[in-house]
Amino acid sequence: MKIPKAYFTGFNSAAKLKKMVTVIYAVILLLALVIAVPFHSALLNQAGNTMELQPLLKQFNFTVYADFMNSYGKIVKALIPAAIWMGMFYFLFTVFFTGGILNILKDENHKFSAVNFFSECGKYFFRYLRMGIYLLIVQILIGVIVFLPLSLIIASNYETTLNEASLFYISVTGGIIYLLLFILVLIIGDYAKIILYDNDSKKVIKSIYTAFKFTFRHLFGTYLLYILILAVPVLLFAVYFWLDSALGMVSGFTIFIMFLIQQVFIWLRVLVKVWFLGSELTFYGLINVIVKTGHPSRHDLAVTDAPSLQINGEEAEENPLPI
């Protein structure tokens, strides 16, 4: 019953924090406007009222796209570095909000205070930034470990034994393996954030190590819980693409409607992020494996009726994990 309880408790927590979700969404929207407004102005100044892109509203046409890039490619390429920088800032902001989100989630009343929220965001920013960089390096290494051998296999057998079906199955196998490992690292990262915050620790690697052991000790529960929540944004994306296909951005009105729908889906994506952390925080409390560092945790977990972890009918000891 731990997984269903964690699943719905996390959802209820996220649903109660609509104000916090809206604040995070507003910051993301402002960040997007920083690049969108200059891009629109520069494109309007260079392209004017050209109708070259009109056919692309109905369906993608490479010839139209190539003609447009030949005419206005310089201005588009000039804005690409700005878009890359904005992507980096988006990553930093997603890291920045983690401490504030956990602070509100660990409050039993889930009372949102902007001052307290942003204070905790700033306090934990550099710790979570280091953690994010470490986990990003791990993701890159996993990609190299998975795809480099596959690339060598394909390259060495491409002209002799491999056919299109073989290439397809090899690529799909590699993609599935990487996806499963990618999700696993995301799960470890989430519990590492929870453990680090719960102990007010500055030891990022220790928190990752503890989360690694916790995740593998409860691999079925942590993975299944993540997949169940992940199914929600996947379903949302499917609905969005269906609406995009059904409405079609062929006029100013439909473009405006799709813009509003996009904003709703972005808001829901932020809500799902809070849902993830809320459910994982609850699951962590229900398992009752709280890492001790020689002093009690700063906050009690919001789940006060969490059962003790039982092993062979006896209560498990909560000794600190070695580093």
On whether the CB atoms of residues 309 and 287 are closer than 8 A, the answer is: yes
pLDDT in tens, the chain (323 residues): 789 999 999 999 999 999 999 999 998 888 777 766 766 666 666 555 555 555 555 555 556 556 666 665 666 676 677 677 777 877 888 899 999 999 999 887 778 888 999 999 999 999 999 999 999 999 999 999 998 888 887 777 766 666 677 777 888 888 999 999 999 999 999 999 999 999 999 999 999 999 999 999 999 999 999 999 999 999 998 998 888 777 776 677 777 888 888 899 999 999 999 999 999 999 998 885 444 434 444 444 444 343 333 333 344 443 444 33
pLDDT at residue 28 in the model: 85
Q: Hey, what are 152's tokens?
A: 């060598």
Whether pTM > 0.85 for this model: the answer is no
pLDDT at residue 300 in the model: 42
pLDDT at residue 306 in the model: 39
C-beta contacts of 169-172 below 8 A and 24+ residues apart: none
Domain residue limits, the chain: 2-307
Q: Which residues of 246-282 are buried (b: 16+ CB within 10 A; e: fewer)?
A: eeebeeeeeeeebeeeeeeeebbbbbbbbbbbbbbbb
